[in-house]
Amino acid sequence: MASFRDFDFAIADVSDVSDVLPLIVWVLFAKKQGPYLIHGVFFCAFFLINACTLITAEFDYNNLPAYHLLALLQIMAVYIFYCQLANQRINKLGMIILLSFHIANAIFYQSIWTFNSLTWTVDMIIMIVIGLLYFLKLYNNESNYMPLQKRPDFIIMSGWLLYASGSLFTYLMASKILSGYAEGFFKNAWFFQSASNILKDIIISYGFWLTTKI
């Protein structure tokens, strides 16, 4: 009988390749303009990085530098998406702050050859804040009466918010979860990140498809 550990590993395998779903939907259906253009480009990068980690893992190479890059690109994707939606321009100061934080963590605290749990944790908190700020902006915007379920921006941001909320616990406790043998519920708590990542990709895929309706 399959154990929770086996189930956790199976979900993790699906999560590693789930970025291909929104990428395919974006390439085939999404409008390549405005915030959706650059967001789709980010998913191209996510897919390539995840593919690289899978290949290097098969050859037992240390691929942790890729996770430093992936963390930076993910938070940049959400931040730039929010800036384009909320202000129609990208705040470069915010990008510099995010980049500096990731570089400083890699140099002074968690090197590129170790898992960057600090940056992932902070990034998830920032994503949650960004998502809530955007929802507040939608709530205060009385000039747009389009139902939320038909708004691709709302759907895509909801996907990121769900992902950040589901992953925060895992990244916060990453050092303990990843230490030792993956046995029992707590040591297999990576399931929360994997499941939320899969749901995020499904929801964002739907958001990309909705761009054809506006």
Q: What are 7-25's pLDDT values in tens digits?
A: 666 787 788 889 999 999 9
Which residue carries 């399931």 as its tokens? Answer: 191
Query: Which residue type is seen at 112?
Result: I
Rounded mean pLDDT, 89-117: 94
- Single out the residue of 111, 21, 119, 35 nearest to residue 70, CA to CA: 119
pLDDT tens digits along 32-51: 998 999 999 999 999 999 99
Question: What integer pLDDT is reported at residue 186 of this predicted model?
Answer: 41
Instruction: Please say if the pLDDT value at position 176 is more than 70.
Output: no
Dist. CA 169–CA 175, nearest whole Å: 11
Contacts 24+ apart (CB under 8 A), 189-195: 190/8, 190/12, 191/4, 191/7, 191/8, 191/11, 191/12, 192/166, 192/167, 193/15, 193/166, 193/167, 194/8, 194/11, 194/12, 194/14, 194/15, 195/11, 195/15, 195/166
Out of 48-52, 107-111, 159-163, 177-181, which region has the weakest mean confidence (pLDDT)?
177-181
For the chain, counts of helices (H) and of strands (E): 10, 0
Distance of alpha carbon 103 from alpha carbon 95, whole angstroms: 12
Residues 6+ apart with CB under 8 A from 49: 66, 69, 70, 73
Q: Quick one: pLDDT at residue 13?
A: 79
Judged against a pLDDT cut of 70, whether residue 160 lies above it is answered with: yes
CA separation for the pair 181, 163 (Å, rounded): 25
Tell me: the pLDDT tens digits for 63-89? 899 999 999 999 999 999 999 998 888
Q: Please name the residue that has the structure tokens 């086996």.
A: 6
Mean predicted lDDT score pLDDT of the chain: 87
Structure tokens at 7: 């189930």
Beta carbons of 187 and 177 less than 8 angstroms apart: yes
pTM of the entire predicted model? 0.90
Band (pLDDT 50/70/90 cuts) for residue 142 is: low
